[in-house]
């Protein structure tokens, strides 16, 4: 079964100016597509051939893991967005953030620190940990917290390809702006 690049749930210019159409053209159109193409070349004739993407992420390592996890991570990341200011942080996710981090401001500060201090390429994640609490974790390269039994709720891609066209080396500006396009309704759906 060949994997396909999932369609984006918005127009390429919908996330302007936080993420430009040019960034999506490369990040989604080229990088995300390449992980799909690579996985489709790697799995025929292997035990992964008929697995779901999530199963492959959980059971693989090395090149198969890197490409499968990057497909999963990017799909999850791109599906977290909606046009700027169309969504408000509310509902169950807001209650859990306040319960587990004290306030929305403290949560965002901790998440931003995780995203900004991650050395090299990787992902900052908001997860439900094995104790059922929200937790912020860093993962390098293609890392995915499902491998550690945690449930992903939100992620920020801090590979340079995620922000270099729009922000050059200013990762902090990208991470700060990231909050303006989060689809909180989608995030709330992930809690159930
Ligand atoms: Mn990326």
Compute the distance from residue 26 Cα to the ligand 1 centre, in Å. Answer: 10
For 171, phi then psi, to 5°, come to -60, -35
Write out pLDDT tens, residues 16-54: 999 999 999 999 999 999 999 999 999 999 999 999 999
Tokens at 117, concatenated: 């201090």
Ligand 1 centroid to Cα of residue 32, in Å, is 7
At residue 87, the pLDDT reads 74
Total residue count of the chain as it appears in this document: 192
In a 3-state reduction of DSSP, which class is residue 67?
Answer: helix
Compute, in angstroms, the gap from residue 175 CA to the centroid of ligand 1. 14
Distance 174 CA to ligand 1 centre (A): 13
For the chain, where are the alpha helices, taking DSSP H only?
A: 21-26, 33-42, 53-59, 62-78, 91-101, 104-117, 164-167, 171-178, 184-191
What is the per-residue pLDDT for 23? Answer: 98
- CA 99 – ligand 1 centroid, Å: 31
d(CA 122, ligand 1 centre) in Å:
8
Distance CA 149, CA 72 (A): 16
Residue spans of the chain under pLDDT 50: none
Which pLDDT value is given to residue 86?
65
* Threshold 0.95, pTM exceeds: yes
Ligand 1 centroid to Cα of residue 102, in Å, is 30
Give strand pairing partners of 138: 124
- For the chain, which domains are there? 21-78 (1.10.287.990), 91-189 (3.55.40.20)
* CA 38 – ligand 1 centroid, Å: 15
Is 78:32 a contact under the CB 8 Å cutoff? yes
Ligand 1 center to 161 CA (angstroms): 6
Q: Directed axis angle between helix 184-191 and helix 91-101, to 10°? A: 70
Dist. CA 30–CA 32, nearest whole Å:
6
CA 119 from centroid of its chain's CA atoms: 17
């Amino acid at each position: 079964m060949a994997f396909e690049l999932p369609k984006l749930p918005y127009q390429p210019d919908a996330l302007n100016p936080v993420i430009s159409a040019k960034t999506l053209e490369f990040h989604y159109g080229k990088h995300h597509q390449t992980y799909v193409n690579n996985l489709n070349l790697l799995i025929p004739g292997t035990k992964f051939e008929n697995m779901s993407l999530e199963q492959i992420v959980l059971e693989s390592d090395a090149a198969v893991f890197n490409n499968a996890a990057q497909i999963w991570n990017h799909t999850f990341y791109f599906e977290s967005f909606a046009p700027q200011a169309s969504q408000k942080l509310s509902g169950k996710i807001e209650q859990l953030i306040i319960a587990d981090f004290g306030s929305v401001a403290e949560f965002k500060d901790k998440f931003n620190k995780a995203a900004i201090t991650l050395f090299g390429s990787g992902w900052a994640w908001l997860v439900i940990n094995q104790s059922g609490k929200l937790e912020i974790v860093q993962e390098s390269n293609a890392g995915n917290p499902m491998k550690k039994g945690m449930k992903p709720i939100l992620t920020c891609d801090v590979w340079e390809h995620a922000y270099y066209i729009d922000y050059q080396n200013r990762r902090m500006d990208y991470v700060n702006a990231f909050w303006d396009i989060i689809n909180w309704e989608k995030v709330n759906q992930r809690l159930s």
